[in-house]
Structure 1
Amino acid sequence: MTKIIKLTTVLTVLAGVVGCSSLTSDSEQTIQYQCGAAEVALNFTDAAATLHYKGSSTHLHQVVSASGARYNDGADPVTQYWGKGNEATMTWQGQELPTCVEKGTLPKHFTGRGNEPFWQVAVNPQHMTITTPDTEAIVDVSPAKVVSENPYEWRIDSATATQLVVIDTLCRDSMSGRLYPYQVDLHEDGNVYSGCGGDSEWLVQGVEWQLVKFGDHPLNTKAPTLSFLAGGQLTGFNGCNRYFGQYNLGGELAQIQLMGSTKMACPETASQLEREFSDAMQRVYQVFIDNNERLVLTTRGNRQLIFVEQQ
């Protein structure tokens, strides 16, 4: 996938007990994942793992799992990796990262949609549900096949003549302007319906965004930040205090609701930034990735908050 934002997380797995300094190449395996906006590399054996993330390292031990491969550090809050098939979940110090998908594969549950005419398709490992102006059907499907790389292109065949082609390239919705991770073409009854696919929230999750422009406010090293977490939760720094809240980017209009914050006293300039930033965040109705790979939040009243990925 052509990625807007990059964050490298490396899971280096060591054989045996703590203190082993090397591992033969025959016993290593590397899997590349995409976890929202974060890139993840996993080098592992079946024994233990060392997780390197944001400049920190945590040693993980394999734990009993009813399915998949599971490792954690036994701490509270926990850092954990749990892989199942081509997908994995990862928690860093109690914070769940977006669903991770092995590079070169599609998510197990995938949705595509398009406009004029309006159509939608929802795919799971067994079935594809199709809605077009002429069709409403559920058909059996075969596993996605890679038909080309760089970028990846997959074809999903059905029990009928219907096919879904998915290309691993960014796609902007023709009406809303929202950005999605995949371009999608549905071939059905001699018609080709083109649109976008995947989860638009995936493109903003997994990294921390730092505010670089907000009206005439001078922004220094304590500029506000924003992180979109899994499960519709968000957190960040508002210029004076840490805040938390909820978001929903799935509808025509984005919704952000701040639920609370810490209560530290700050200099008046920081307190003023806190008040105006918090008020603007509550009024956001559009979340947008621009052509310069910046996160742009637009409020009712057309104020803009512009963020870049924090390095």
Structure 2
Amino acid sequence: MHIKTLSPALLAAALTTLAGCSTATPDTSVPRIGAGEPFTAELNCGRLPISAKGDDDLLLTVGAEQFVLNRAISASGARYVAEGEPETSLWFKGEQAWLVLAGDEYPLCVPSDTIIEPYRAAGNEPFWSATLDGGQLTLNRLNEGESPAQPYMPGETAGEVVTNTAPPIRLQATDQLCRDSMSGMPYPQRVNVRVDGTTLRGCGGDPARLLQGGEWVVEDINGGGIIDRSRVTLNFWRNGQVNGRASCNNFMGEYRLSGEGLSMSSPATTRKACAPSLMEQEQRVLRNLQTLQGFDFDDTGALLLRSAEGSLKARLEH
């Protein structure tokens, strides 16, 4: 646990700046960070939940670790840095924030049910798709064609946006695992679009956020378990890099998400030698990664990495 001393004067100045990022119309359902009163901001950085609490200190909680952050100079928003640990920081821009821990950059941190532009949602039966970019929403429906891009504004609930058209288009996104009914691709949000008295259902958001933001620990390889006390891990980073431990050696490579699945470049490894059984397990892990085809989750939330070799089953380490 990391607890540092924070200057109350610095905190007051930081919170005052952060208050300037608020919208003109206050939303009482959202903590007013920087309003001169205690607040708690709960955010999700991909799969990593964090909490930022302000009163006399700005306290960041990440899993079992806690950091007290000092205000730092920034060109925009409000940036805070852990005292004595310049590679750990939290940078607020409105209700969103960027998190860096020990030099590692995490996915954008947002409240639950947040739409992150550029955003795409789609569904089948009937086919439809919607894109949100630059504050505008475009809807494409089978047999209806593509509607002109329309400005949208926040709706009455989290994750809802509404166009100022007649009739309006209402899009609601909710954080819940959603699988495309044709490709089987997992997405982080379920989406409903209401227009012309019709409700269109589908999935939306960036599938990478289901993988990023935590360390996955492999507990099964091709249905045969894993050697006792051995360790196999994967970390998917927002820059397209993946690294971890293959059993004996560390590895690193690149991963790619497409509309159909997940693939990975041939991983590079260190050159340490271990017991023959551990080296054989490592080769099975690397063959799975080299022939990776897609991913899914089982009913318990475990990650299933499917490959031509079989599958790896992993869980987030908390």
Give the TM-score, by structure 2 length: 0.81
Which residue, out of 121, 124, 131, partners 1:122? 131
Distance between the aligned counterparts of 2:184 and 2:141, measured in 1?
A: 21
Aligned to 2:261, the other structure's residue is in SS state coil
Match of 1:67 in 2: 76
Show the 5 A alignment for 1:13-162: 14=6, 16=8, 27-44=37-54, 49-73=58-82, 78-103=87-112, 105-124=114-133, 126-133=135-142, 134-147=144-157, 154-162=160-168
Which residue, out of 166, 169, 187, partners 1:163? 169
Q: Is the 8 A contact 1:213 1:306 kept in 2?
A: yes
Distance between the aligned counterparts of 2:75 and 2:154, measured in 1?
A: 26
Q: Is the 8 A contact 1:10 1:41 kept in 2?
A: no
Aligned to 2:149, the other structure's residue is in SS state strand
Distance between the aligned counterparts of 1:11 and 1:159, measured in 2?
A: 51
- Alignment coverage as a number of residue pairs: 291
Give how far 1:219 is off.
2.8
Match of 2:21 in 1: none
Give how far 1:131 is off.
2.1
Query: Are residues 1:299 and 2:291 paired?
Result: no
Cα deviation code 1:247-304 (max 9, x no counterpart): 1223213111244222222111111111111111110101111222110011125x11
Q: Is the 8 A contact 2:7 2:70 kept in 1?
A: no
Aligned to 2:258, the other structure's residue is in SS state coil
Aligned to 1:281, the other structure's residue is in SS state helix
Distance between the aligned counterparts of 1:52 and 1:210, measured in 2?
A: 22
Give how far 1:90 is off.
0.4
Paired AA for residue 197 in structure 1: G
Q: Is the 8 A contact 2:114 2:159 kept in 1?
A: no
Q: Percent of counterpart pairs with the same letter?
A: 27
Compared with structure 1, are the counterparts of its residues 236 and 212 closer, same or farther at alpha carbon in structure 2 (3 Å cutoff)? same
Give how far 1:11 is off.
10
Task: List runs of 5+ in structure 2 lacking aligned partners.
Answer: 11-34
Aligned to 1:138, the other structure's residue is in SS state coil
Give the TM-score, by structure 1 length: 0.82
Distance between the aligned counterparts of 2:156 and 2:180, measured in 1?
A: 24
Give how far 1:51 is off.
3.8
Show the 5 A alignment for 1:244-255: 244-255=252-263
Paired AA for residue 118 in structure 1: F
Distance between the aligned counterparts of 2:261 and 2:63, measured in 1?
A: 32
Match of 1:222 in 2: 230
Query: Are residues 1:280 and 2:272 paired?
Result: no
- RMSD in angstroms over aligned alpha carbons? 3.0
Cα deviation code 1:180-214 (max 9, x no counterpart): 22222223445433211111221221111111111
Give how far 1:58 is off.
4.1
Task: List runs of 5+ in structure 1 lacking aligned partners.
Answer: 1-8, 19-24
